Amino acid sequence: MSNLSSRRGFTLIELMLVVVIIGALVAMAVPRLAGRTESARRGIAEADIKGNISLALRLYEVDNGRYPTSDQGLKALLQQPTSPPIPKSWKGPYLEQDPTDPWQQAYVYKFPGSHPPRDYDLSSLGPDGVESEDDVTNWSSK
């Protein structure tokens, strides 16, 4: 056995080849994943608006005979409102925490709503934080 054949390890060329292969794989994967973050955030907002918060609002309405007012807002789902109309059969909290959208903004709640057949309007202002085309709402299916 010669001295060279008994050495173990990788040569510089082998290591560089592995780095190039990993770099090529990352270069192919990153563009595919880049748009997924915003899509995932939008999905979370839709699930909150059409599922979690809507269910909590329905439970509140069943217990109290009406939805919280716009002034009481979604806070009425966390603690019993002290402003009129004060619910007499409040059995909450109906949510575990104050709902914020995936862009760390408060959801916009309005009762009575202005988008029939919904009783209330519930929306997220989306990534730009202002009313625009990217909003997620309970009255639109986009």
Domain count for the chain: 1
In a domain, 18, yes or no: no
In a domain, 95, yes or no: yes
Would you call 57 exposed, middle or buried from its count of C-beta atoms within 10 A (0-12, 13-18, 19+)? Answer: buried
In a domain, 7, yes or no: no
Coil/strand/helix, residue 110 = strand
Angle between the 36-47 and 12-34 helix axes, to the nearest 10 degrees? 40
The Cβ-side half-sphere exposure at 76, using a 13 Å CA radius, reads: 30
In a domain, 22, yes or no: no
In a domain, 129, yes or no: yes
Task: List % helix, strand, coil for the chain (3-state, nearest 5).
Answer: 40, 10, 50
Q: How does pLDDT run across 24-44, given as a tens digit for each residue?
A: 888 777 766 666 788 889 899
In a domain, 31, yes or no: no
In a domain, 100, yes or no: yes
Q: How does pLDDT run across 51-71, given as a tens digit for each residue?
A: 999 999 999 999 999 999 999
Range of the domain at 118: 38-137
The reported pTM is 0.72
Residue 130: which CATH number? 3.30.700.10
